[in-house]
């Protein structure tokens, strides 16, 4: 019984939250990695692009709520996401046309493109803050919990409750669907294959008649979808605040590089690596040991490896270690 309790405890406080957080990071990391693999620069506007997409989702959610459209138990935001994506993709294509295209056709070094993305970051940030403001916003509605801790306790008779929020389930399901569609697209369709070819060797791809304009456009469209959904899911699960989104860029970069930048599957797993290590290393295991160990060996302190203040630092340290010992990431990067 104690053993079961311990497992439920870990499930409740480590596994489910880490899986959710990891999914959100994974979407962002695939976004970074796609841009890096095909457009060949590190996009420092990642976090702000995500908040830009989320902003549209929120605006549409508020509009739908005011009109009285809702999805019942599901959050209205799910209905708003497609509209958000349309605006987001439009924005990205405009940015690409007016900003990035020039440098791409001039074959500028990646560093210059990265600098330009900082300019885009500033502008996007300004637009988001001017339109929706810098404050914290919650746009979640519908049923909050799938399983409540109390109900779970009653049902199973255990001491530990397992609470699963509906946003967590939605995040994980949506991520799985989205990512598997993406991999199917990249590996099975002609366009996807030509994208991979372009990423692998640009000149060779051009020789074999692949249209670079089309590739770039599709990349931005996919990136827009990923950014909007990733951002909206994060906002649903936690809350929307432009500054947090900007900061989320850092673990997202960490996830992309840990997985091998340029490799979407690596980025997907990288998200989970980062999320799990952040939570595993900063969780206080005291209660877990109380359940598992006999009473005489109960620990005195919190049994916490690192204080939760260092949550971000954990992922960055992992990144630094990976960069040192395996600069190409866990999976070989630079090929889609």
Partner 1 sequence: MMGLIILVGLFQSWNIALSIFNLCLISAVMTMGANIQWGYAGLINFGIMGFTALGGLAAVLISVDPVQEAWSAGGSNILFSLFLIISMVLAIRYILKNFKKSKNRTYIVATIIILGIVIIRFISEPGIVAIEEVDPAKTGFLGGLGLPIIFSWVLGAFFAGGLAFVIGKVALGLRADYLAIATLLISEIVIAIIKHEDWLTRGVKNVIGLKRPAPYEVNLQQTDWFIDLVEKFNSTKLNLITDLNERQAALNQLVIEGSSVFVKLCYSGLFLVVVIILLILTQKALYSPWGRMMRAIRDNEEAANAMGKNVVKQHLLIFVLGSAIVGIAGAMLVTQDGLFTPGSYRPLRYTFLIWVMVIVGGSGNNFGAILGGFVVWFLWIEAAPIGLYLVNLTTAGLDDTHYLKVHLIESVPYFRFLMMGVGLLVIMRYRPKGILPEKIEIK
List residues binding partner 1 (CB under 8 A).
Answer: 41-42, 44, 99, 102, 109-112, 114-116, 118-127, 129-130, 133-134, 246, 250, 253-254, 257, 307, 309-310, 312-313, 316-317, 319-320, 323-324, 327
Nearer of residues 279 and 319 to partner 1, judged by Cβ: 319
Nearer of residues 37 and 75 to partner 1, judged by Cβ: 37
Nearer of residues 16 and 26 to partner 1, judged by Cβ: 26
- Cβ-in-10-Å burial (0-12, 13-18, 19+) of 130 comes to exposed
In the complex, minimum distance from the CB of residue 215 to partner 1, in angstroms, rounded to a whole number = 21
In the complex, minimum distance from the CB of residue 253 to partner 1, in angstroms, rounded to a whole number = 5
Nearer of residues 44 and 152 to partner 1, judged by Cβ: 44
Nearer of residues 140 and 331 to partner 1, judged by Cβ: 331
In the complex, minimum distance from the CB of residue 145 to partner 1, in angstroms, rounded to a whole number = 32
Nearer of residues 100 and 291 to partner 1, judged by Cβ: 100
Residues 6+ apart with CB under 8 A from 276: 14, 18, 22
Question: Phi and psi dihedrals of 63, rounded to 5?
Answer: -65, -50
In the complex, minimum distance from the CB of residue 56 to partner 1, in angstroms, rounded to a whole number = 17
Q: What's the number of CA atoms in the CB half-sphere (13 Å) around residue 148?
A: 5
Q: Which long-range contacts (CB under 8 A, 24 or more apart) does 112-119 make?
A: 113/39, 113/40, 113/41, 114/41, 114/42, 114/43, 114/44, 117/41, 117/42, 117/43, 117/44, 117/45, 118/44, 118/45
Residues 6+ apart with CB under 8 A from 285: 299, 302, 303, 304
Q: For residue 38, what are the CA distances in angstroms to 161, 190, 212?
A: 46, 16, 10
Nearer of residues 232 and 254 to partner 1, judged by Cβ: 254
Nearer of residues 182 and 249 to partner 1, judged by Cβ: 249
In the complex, minimum distance from the CB of residue 20 to partner 1, in angstroms, rounded to a whole number = 23
In the complex, minimum distance from the CB of residue 42 to partner 1, in angstroms, rounded to a whole number = 4
DSSP letter at 11? I
Residues 6+ apart with CB under 8 A from 206: 212
In the complex, minimum distance from the CB of residue 241 to partner 1, in angstroms, rounded to a whole number = 14
Compute the distance between CA of residue 89 and CA of residue 320 in angstroms, rounded to an integer. Answer: 33
Q: Is 241 helix (H, G, I), strand (E, B) or coil?
A: coil
In the complex, minimum distance from the CB of residue 333 to partner 1, in angstroms, rounded to a whole number = 10
């Amino acid at each position: 019984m104690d053993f079961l309790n311990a497992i439920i405890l870990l499930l409740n406080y480590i596994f489910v939250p880490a899986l959710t957080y990891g999914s959100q990071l994974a979407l962002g990391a695939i976004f970074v990695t796609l841009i890096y693999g095909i457009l060949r620069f590190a996009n420092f506007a990642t976090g702000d692009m995500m908040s830009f997409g989320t902003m549209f989702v929120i605006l549409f959610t508020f509009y739908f709520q005011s009109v009285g459209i809702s999805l019942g138990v599901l959050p209205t935001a799910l209905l708003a996401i497609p509209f958000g994506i349309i605006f987001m993709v439009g924005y990205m294509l405009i940015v690409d046309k007016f900003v990035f295209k020039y440098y791409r056709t001039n074959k500028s070094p990646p560093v210059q493109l990265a600098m330009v993305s900082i300019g885009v970051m500033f502008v996007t940030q300004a637009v988001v803050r001017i339109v929706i403001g810098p404050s914290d916003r919650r746009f979640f509605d519908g049923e909050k919990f799938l399983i409540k801790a109390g109900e779970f306790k009653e049902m199973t008779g255990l001491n530990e409750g397992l609470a699963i929020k509906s946003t967590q389930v939605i995040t994980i399901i949506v991520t799985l669907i989205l990512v598997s569609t993406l991999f199917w697209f990249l590996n099975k369709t002609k366009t996807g294959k030509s994208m991979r070819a372009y990423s692998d060797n640009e000149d060779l791809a051009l020789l074999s008649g692949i249209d670079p304009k089309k590739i770039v456009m599709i990349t931005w469209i996919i990136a827009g979808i990923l950014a909007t959904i990733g951002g909206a899911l994060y906002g649903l699960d936690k809350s929307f605040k432009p500054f947090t989104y900007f900061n989320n860029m850092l673990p997202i970069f960490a996830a992309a590089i840990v997985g091998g930048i340029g490799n979407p599957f690596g980025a997907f797993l990288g998200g989970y690596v980062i999320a799990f290590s952040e939570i595993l290393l900063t969780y206080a295991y005291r209660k877990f040991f109380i359940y598992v160990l006999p009473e005489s060996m109960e620990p005195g302190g919190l049994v916490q490896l690192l204080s939760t203040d260092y949550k971000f630092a954990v992922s960055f340290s992992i990144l630094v270690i990976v960069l040192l010992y395996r600069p190409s990431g866990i999976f070989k990067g630079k090929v889609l």
